[in-house]
Structure 1
Amino acid sequence: MDAYSNRKKPVVALVGPTASGKTALSIALAKATGGEIVCADSMQIYQDMNIGSAKPTPEEMAGVPHHMLSVVSPFQSFSAAAYQEMGRPILEDIAARGKLPLVVGGTGLFIDAILRPMTFGDAPADPALRAKLEAEIEQEGIAAVYKRLIRLDPASAERIHQNDRKRIVRALEVILLTGKPLPPSRKLYLRKPMVYNTIMFALDWPRECLYQRIDQRVDQMLKVGLLEEVSHLKKMGCNSQMQSMQGLGYKELLGYLDGACSLEEAVAQIKQDSRRYAKRQITWFKADPLVQWLPGQQPVSSMVDTVLAALKAYEFDSSND
């Protein structure tokens, strides 16, 4: 019998910053519970993007079912709304089969899209306006269009990085169509209850240890063929304007292949960008009061025991409902 089996299963979410050890813990926990993993990573959804996205290999998966891996072509855009639409039926199917769903990843918006009552249809979309804004970026540069956002919606401009093309276009689209600024959506839904009974854990590391792990992982990715992977994607026709190629490791090495910088500069930029991304992830998850933080330096077996104990406590509470 599985280590975890009861009549009222919750969803377990394993979240946290890049390179914190989520994959190893999730697979160990899935093996201990007979659970199945639903990946919540905005890069692992793409086909042909395995190394740079830190996608688990078949050997690492160790027979554990993984869902939402390699489901989209790198030529396609993919939103949190699309992730919710595709991911929730999978999660519910896992639960319906009596298995424990494990939602695993570091993309906070994807985590919330699948677990919280987010809606995406409130703000309208206009493909023609969006195309016009994209053309303005091509003609005038992203800095000029970002200044327009600062003027029309300063609150959104403060939240959005000046090089985040996709979000700049979306914020301008909303303000121009509705006359209202793009709402700070995380605040709108964070106070709402979860769609599912959810237990959330994140892996916590001393900052310098985490940064060292990030640097080591970048070096390992390059060792096993990240540059060749990006070169292959470029030969396929992928370019810097695509959403998929904005991922860490891909955009920097694509710049190297395009002659914009040296390989050494590109690698240094990957490491720096990855550290900055980890800081944003930590900020996101620290703001969520439901997340329980596990010391990342302890053995994986100890963390599995902690999660199993939480599941047993949940079972006991449920039996008293």
Structure 2
Amino acid sequence: MSQKPLIVIVGPTAVGKTGLSVELALKINGEIISADSMQIYKYMDIGTAKATPKERKGVKHYLLDEITPDEEFSVARYKELADRYIDEIISKGKLPIMVGGTGLYVNAVTDNIKFSETICDWDYRNQLQILAETNGNEYLHKMLEEVDPVTAQRLHTNDTRRIIRALEVYKYTGIPISRHQEESRKEPSPYKLAMIGLTMDREWLYQRINERVEIMIEQGLVNEVQKLLDMGYNKEMTSMKGLGYKEIIDYLNGETTFEQAIDILKRDTRRYAKRQLTWFRRDKRIHWIHIHKEDSKKELIEKCLKYIAEIGIM
């Protein structure tokens, strides 16, 4: 079976993936699949930097506003939907472009990782959740470190949902989830990949991150978070633990001042961008494009088109 074409655009938050991908889609008759673990949620637009209908310029986007903030959503579910939407786009004679900064989502598709949905023990998950709440997230992270140091290294201490999933897989198979993923990668990918990474000087990126946070505040991030709380969503939900939401919730609850919340959000977003770059730099398939301040959008698009043509997708 011949491989299906898939263009992938990755990079740290605030590097300009969204704007570039829309312009690229317009050039090559493409449609966009979001690879962002926060943009799947409805009602969460400002804090996730979701492209507005105007910014999408008529280009169809998939995996935005897929679920409500109280719904569970797994990487396996993401892969299932992304694979389906890729087929749908190709069936229309268009090119699929996956865009985002959630490395786990990107790798689930590009590495053809298999996920066993048959392993599901809610009692064990609840036990682990209680352990985290009682002893702290670090306790759970150390448990994972003992049985699967590879996965522990790539998961943030506070990513309890994925830590619990990794511990659950190990309990029932005796094999680390990282080994399961490694075995999956040995199978040939169904996709012919053109993977493009966007990067820029760190000082400029951090400046853009700080400016983006300020714009989010101006656009009404505080009101967006308050509205979500009024709708019944709360701090304990995975969705509400995302950047931009947990910091504002702490402010609204009187746990921090407004200025402290903004400073923490800027700091944590910069740290997140650094982790994203570390993740993606491990993937040797990615062709990196370094963005300079003097680069025009036209020049960046031409660089992308040149690489895509070299891969043989166009």
TM-score by length of 1: 0.88
Distance 1:178 1:213 in 2: 44
Aligned CA RMSD, in angstroms, stands at: 2.3
Moved more, 282-291 or 306-315: 306-315
Judge conservation of contact 1:108–1:281 (CA < 8 Å) in 2. yes
Please state how far the C-alpha of 1:225 moved relative to its aligned partner.
0.6
The answer to whether the aligner puts 1:233 opposite 2:228 as a matched pair is yes
Q: State whether structure 2 residue 224 is matched by structure 1 residue 224.
A: no
* Contact 1:9–1:100 (8 Å) recurs in 2: no
Which residue, 43, 46, 49 being the options, matches 2:44?
A: 49
Pairs within 5 Å for 1:23-34: 23-34=18-29
> In structure 2, do the counterparts of structure 1 residues 114 and 138 end up closer, same or farther at CA, with 3 Å as the change threshold?
same
* Alignment match, 1:59: 54
Q: Distance in 1 between matches of 2:154 and 2:147?
A: 14
Specify the alignment match of 1:5 in structure 2.
none
1:20 and 1:224 map into 2 onto residues whose CA distance is: 20
The answer to whether the Cα contact below 8 Å between 1:47 and 1:71 also exists between their aligned partners in 2 is: yes
Partner of 2:90: 95
Q: Secondary structure at the match of 1:78?
A: coil
Q: What is the Cα deviation at residue 192 of structure 1?
A: 5.4
Query: Judging changes above 3 Å, is the alpha-carbon distance between structure 1 residues 304 and 159 closer, same or farther for their aligned structure 2 residues?
Result: closer
Q: 8 Å contact 2:148–2:178 — kept in the other structure?
A: no
* Map of 1:176 onto structure 2: 171
Rounded to whole Å, the distance in 2 between the matches of 1:240 and 1:158 is 26
- Matched AA of 2:300: M
CA drift of 1:36 comes to: 0.7
Equivalent AA in structure 2 for residue 224 of structure 1:
Q
Aligned to 1:300: 297
**Counterparts in 2 of 1:188 and 1:98: CA distance versus 1, 3 Å:** same
Q: Give the direction of change, closer, same or farther, for the CA distance of 1:32–1:186 in structure 2 (3 Å limit).
A: same
Match of 1:85 in 2: 80
Q: Superposition pairs for residues 101-140 of structure 1, below 5 Å?
A: 101-121=96-116, 124-140=119-135
Q: CA deviation at 1:282?
A: 0.6
SS in 2 for 1:183: helix
Write the mapping of 1:219-298 to structure 2, written as runs, cut at 5 A: 219-297=214-292, 298=295
Q: Matched residues in 1 for 2:298 and 2:179: separation?
A: 38
The residue aligned with 1:313 is 310
SS at match of 2:80: helix
2:208 to 208, 213, 236: 213
Quick one: percent identity of the two aligned structures?
A: 42
Q: Could you report, residue by residue, the CA deviation over 1:115-145 in whole angstroms, capped at 9, with x for unpaired residues?
A: 2210011883211111222233334443444
1:214–1:184 distance in 2 versus 1, CA, 3 Å = farther
Q: 1:190 and 1:17, CA in 2 relative to 1: closer, same or farther beyond 3 A?
A: farther
Aligned to 1:204, which of 191, 195, 199? 199
Q: TM-score w.r.t. structure 2 length?
A: 0.90
1:262-304: CA deviations, max 9, x gaps? Answer: 1111111111111111111111111111111112222111111
Partner Cα separation in structure 2 for residue 85 and residue 113 of structure 1: 10
What is the number of residues matched between the two proteins? 310
Give the conservation status (yes or no) of the 8 Å contact 2:113–2:185: no
1:195 aligns with 2:197: no
